[in-house]
Each structure stands twice: as C-alpha cells, then as structure tokens.
Structure 1
Amino acid sequence: MTYSRTNQSFITVSLFLRRMAKDRVEEFLKNPKRALLVLATPIIVSMIVQTLYSIVDTAFVGRLGTEALAALTFTFPPFLVLIALTSGLGAGMSSRISRSLGARHKTSAENAAMHGLFISLILAVIVLIIGLPILEPFFTLLGATEAIAKLATDYMKIILFGALFMFPAQAIASIFSAEGDTRTPTKVSVSSLVLNIILDPIFIYVLGLGVKGAAIATVISFLASLLLSVYFVIKKSYLHIHLSSFSFSPRITRDIIDVGAPAGLMILLMSLYTSFISRLMAHFGTVYVASYGIASRVEHIAVMPVVAFSIAAMILTAMFLGAREYNALKVVSDYSIRVMFVFTLLMAALFFLMPVLFLRIFTQELELLSLGAAYLRVSAFSLPPFAIGMMVSRIMQGLGYGLPGLVVTVARLIIIAMPLMYFAIFVLGYSYLAIPAAMVISGVVSAGIALVWLRAEFRESVASD
C-alpha cells in the first residue's frame, strides 16, 4: 500500500514537472520579449550581489595589510581560469540542453546534463593535479616577492580543492538556466555569497587564519552552493538527473565542447586584453592605471545588463531552434540586440555628459577624477558596439556555434585593438586616450562583422531544417 502510494506520487510529480516544462516553452513562445526580461532579471541580481561581495571581500583582506592584498591580486589570473572553464562549460551545456528541450527530447536533455556534470568533475580534477605544483613558480613569474608568492599560493591551493565543489555546482546552475529557470541558480548564488560574507571575518580575524581563512570561507561557500544545487535539482528540476540518465555520446560531448571551449577562451582573451591595457597605462604612470581601474568599474554598471540579456538570449535561441520556432527565434535575436544597443547608447550618453558623477562612487581624488573623466568620455562609445558583439556571440552559442564569437573577439582585441593601441602610443606618441579610441574603432568593426555573420548563420540554420 505504501509503495503504491509512493509510486503514484512519483508519477504525479513527474507528470507535473513534464507539464511545467512544456508550459514554460509555450509561455516563452507566446511572448519572447517578456521571456528575455524574465530570464535576465535574476542574472542581473546575482551579478550585483557578486560585485558587492567582491568589494566586501577585498575590504576584509585589505585590513590584513598590503602584502595580503597584493597576494589576493596575484591570484586573479588563476581564478579567472577557473571562471573561464566553468563559464565555458555552462555555455556549452545550456546551449545543448535548451535545444533538446525545445525539440521535446527530454531523454537527450538529461543525457546532456549528465555529460556536463561528468565533464565538470573531470575538469576540476585536472585543474587540481596540474595547478598545485605550478602555483608558486607561476606567482614568482608574475613578479611576486617570496612572501607574497607564498601567501598567494596558500590561498589558491585551498581554492583549487574547492573547484571540486565549484565546478559541479556551476554545471547544475547551467541545467536550471537551460530549462528557462534562472531564479533558482540566482537563489543559490546569493545564498552562498551571503554565507561567504558571514564566514570571512570569522575565519580571517576570529580564528586568525588570515588569507588562508578567506580561502577556506570561499570553499565552504562553494560546498554550500553545491549542496543547495543538488537539493533544488532533485526537488525542482524537470530533468531527471541520475546515473541511469547517462549514456556516453561522442556527439553530445562534441556539442558541449564546440560551444564551451570558444566561450571559455573568450574570457581568457578578455583577461589578457585587460592586463595589456594596464601595462600600457603603467607607461604613463601609476595614477593612470588607477584612473583606468575606476573608469572600468563605472563601465561595468552598463555591462552587467548586457551580459544578463545575452545569457537569456542564448537560452531562448537554443530552445526556439530546437522547437523549430524560427519566427520567435528571429524576434529574440533582433529585439535583444536592439534593446541592448539602445540601452548602452543611453548609458554612453550619460557617461559622456556626467562622467564625474559616476566616478565619484569610487574615488574623491581630483587627479583621478580628471583623468578618469577624459578616459570615460571616449570609452563610453565602445559600449554599444560591445553590446552588439556580446549579444551576437551568445545568440551564436544558442544556435550551436561557439567559434564565431571567438573569432569576432580575436578580431576585436588581438587583431585590431591591441596593435592599434601600441602603434598609437609608442610610434605616433599619442596620449593615454588612444586606448579608449582604439576600443571604439575595434568595437565598431567587429560589431559589423558579427552582425553579417549572424545573418548568414541564421539563414543557414533555417535552410538546413
């Protein structure tokens, strides 16, 4: 009797989840424009919380002294590698799963989810094995002193073990996003970040663990994120995530990697690009580096909604492609690009007209405000073409093409912007404002390439149906 009732309850829940997922796809199809906002809003909230956490975490570690803060700064490149790997895998998983769900192929979506989880664990183990022995030599190579290199190594060793929790947690977040549920991963993200903020002062100061304490607090938050993710995926996910759902498929693996690898490389390229600009700014003096730093933080205000909308557009594009709803796909593509272009154009106008108002959020020093304002007035107009490039890259990922976004990014950063900046400063002798000017030029050219490529790929996707 008990087994019968339990089995009946399980069937009822399964049917409810199946109907819920189907209703979600139908709801998105009825109003694709609203669906973009529904999916993007939780992502924006999550990004705001992460930004606040970054500020708080830096403040806690900064109170330990200059060496501790410098050590944390040196850990940024390897930490970015972890972010690139998880973000790339997440893009590949979301694209593949959403296309399967759009086509009503639930079993295939579940298998893709399991593939992603296994890949996340394999990547975490590889990162741990390769990373541990090379950390200290790497930090020394970057220019860290012996004391700072040791602090940075102590921090990152703990974080690398935490990757065993971080990677699968991010993979599960991608499963929810692929289903059209961005609220659940946002709840998990916000909860883990709040926990980290609470634990930071306890481990850093109360227990006297210093920089190691900050790393331990972060790893505990990774573990909490994984446990919450597992709980929600069992309780709320439409997909049945279990070993029985897994059947190794080279095609699914290739689909995830084809989108994920270029997406991850794009993030690494952005890191290289940012480091390159910092080195160019250092040519003019430390105050110029600082002015670039605060101007970049201001630009991040406009970038967050673009990133959120691009992720939402990728999910809907993949889902509608799988469902062969090409009209809805075109609506999402055109509308998302147009809205983000107008939004960044308005933000560019505000940054141009009132740069000091925004810069004062981060500094009150007059020299920094003056240099930062001049920089921001030029760089602001790189935002609209950046938005177009970002939206097109994500939409391409939704279509199952990861390479176009990478090619456009390489063209924008490596082929056009970086050589142009170097030539303008060291050959022509221009001021630091040549850097944002090169950003605008490279952004406009690459945005044009991206739009032409998107139209061609869209026609091909429809024609191949």
Structure 2
Amino acid sequence: MTKQTSFTQGKILQPLILFAFPVLLALFLQAMYGAIDLLIVGKFASSVDVSAVSTGSQIMVTLTNLVSSFAMGLTILLGQQIGRGEKEAGGKSVGTGILFFIIIAVIMSIAMLFLAPQVSSLMNAPQEAFDKTVAYLRICGGGMVVIVAYNLIGCIFRGLGDSKTPLITVAIACVFNIIGDLILCAIFHMGTEGAAIATVFAQVISVLISLLLIRKTELPFTLHRKYIKNH
C-alpha cells in the first residue's frame, strides 16, 4: 500500500503539500476525460461529433466536480475520526457515505437518462449535433454509478492519508480512455457514441482497480453492513 501521510505529528506544511498535490492532479485528470474525447473525436470524426462531445463533456465535468466536492466532505470527517482513533465512528461515517452516494448515483443516472434532451437544449446544443449530444449524455450519464463509486473509494483512501492511490487509478483510467477512444473512433468510426463508451469503460476499470486495492488495505475503522444507513 502507498505510504500514508500523517497530519498529527511534526510540521504540517510539507505533509499538506505532499497530500494536496496528488488530489489536485487527480481532479485535473478527471476533468481531462472530456478534453481527450474532444481531441480524438476532432481527429477521426465529423464537426457534428466534435460539437456534441464539447457540449456533453462540459456537463459531465460539472457533475463530476459536484460529486468530488461531496466526497471531500467525507474525506475530512473520516480523517478526523481516524486521527482520534474512533474506529466505530469512522465505520459509521463510511456507511452513511455509501448510502448517500448510492442515492446520488441513482438520481444523477435517472436524471441524465431521461432529461438529456432538456439539458442539451438548456446548453444550446446546435440543432445538427443535438441528437448526438443527447446520446453522449445518456451514455455517460448511465455511467454516473461508476463515477460516484470511484469518488467514494477515492475519498476513503484520502481519509486514510493516502492521496496517491486515487491518482494512480485515475491515471490508469485515462490511459484506457485514450485506448478506447482510438479503437472506437479511429477504427470503428463510432464518433460521439464511441467516445462516451470509452469514457465509461475507463471509469469502470478505475473502480475495479480501486476496489482491488482497498480490499488489500488494512482499514483503521470498523465497517459492518448494519452501518450502511443514515447516522
């Protein structure tokens, strides 16, 4: 496991910088999903596809940042409880977070699946690219579950003092996103839909790796199924 950062002993500035930089870089890489899609679609697809990806990716970045902001709150609370040695309280916070993020994932997924035309219209998507924008939002919106899952696992790692592991997983996802974009857009000429599918697939890879790593981590809090409720 990646070495954890301690904020309870010694000077605070250096550990804070070492902890914060991977967080900022991970958020930057998450925001780059849409930019990568736009770059590759612009190279191998039509201007209509470029317009659709440009509009759709802005909406997805906004939703991702919203989820990341919620995750930061759990990171802070969990870090405080771990620092005080409150194992049961930490487990209950994670349990509440799991329930909270499940609700967020369901609401966002349903909203993007059914309200994609209205959102596209609100964003003034060009008429020629309107249907493709809707398709991009529905595919990526259907993947909100994995976006939320990644941010939940990432905030737990950061609450443990480990901000490097979430960075590594999102960097791996970026690589898979590029590979997926090239295969679906350059070879199969799927355009907007291909870029959206590649993005969701890359995020699934990120979640699977995160789950594998956290299962191998000795957690400093107690988590039971009965804790997965509102505390």
Q: State the TM-score, normalizing by the size of structure 1.
A: 0.46
- Aligned-pair RMSD on alpha carbons? 2.5
Q: 1:168 to 1:56 in 2, by over 3 A?
A: closer
Structure 2 residue aligned with 1:179: 160
How far is the alpha carbon of 1:73 from its aligned partner? 2.0
| Structure 1 residue 246: Cα displacement | 1.2
Matched, 1:248 2:229: yes
With over 3 angstroms needed to count, the CA separation of the structure-2 counterparts of 1:237 and 1:212, relative to structure 1, is farther
Cα pair distance change 1:36/1:179, threshold 3 Å: same
* 1-structure distance, mates of 2:115, 2:222: 35
Alpha-carbon spacing, 1:42–1:144, altered in 2? closer, same or farther (3 Å): closer
Q: 2:208 aligns with which of 227, 241, 264?
A: 227
- 1:1-400, aligned counterparts within 5 Å? 25=6, 28-47=8-27, 49-50=29-30, 54-63=34-43, 64-239=45-220, 242-244=223-225, 246=227, 248-250=229-231
Q: For the pair shown, which has the larger CA radius of gyration, 1 or 2?
A: 1
Number of equivalences: 229
Q: Offset of 1:86 from its aligned partner? A: 1.1
Indicate how the Cα distance of structure 1 residues 227 and 240 shifts in structure 2: closer, same or farther if over 3 A, else same.
farther
Q: Give the drift of 1:163.
A: 0.8
Asked if the contact 1:96/1:112 (under 8 Å) is kept, the reply is yes
Give per-residue Cα distances to partners, 1:283-312, cap 9 Å, x unaligned.
Answer: xxxxxxxxxxxxxxxxxxxxxxxxxxxxxx
> Deviation of residue 54 (structure 1)?
5.0
Q: Which has the higher helix share?
A: 1
Relative to structure 1, is the Cα distance of residues 125 and 51 closer, same or farther in structure 2, using a 3 angstrom cutoff? closer
What letter corresponds to residue 68 of structure 2 in structure 1?
Answer: S
Q: Distance in 2 between matches of 1:31 and 1:245?
A: 38
Detail structure 1 runs of 4+ shifted over 6 Å in the superposition. Answer: none
> What is the CA-CA distance between 1:213 and the residue it aligns to?
0.5
Question: 1:241, 1:125 → 2: CA distance?
Answer: 26
Aligned partner letter, 1:132: L
- How far 1:117 sits from its partner (Å)? 2.0
The answer to whether the Cα contact below 8 Å between 2:88 and 2:222 also exists between their aligned partners in 1 is no
Which consecutive unaligned segments of at least 5 residues does structure 2 have?
none
Quote the Cα distance in structure 2 between the aligned partners of 1:93 and 1:133.
Answer: 29
Write the letter of the residue equivalent to 2:40.
F
Contact 1:176 1:184 in 2 (8 A): yes
Q: Distance in 2 between matches of 1:180 and 1:189?
A: 17
Q: How big is the shift at 1:52?
A: 6.1
Distance 2:33 2:114 in 1: 29
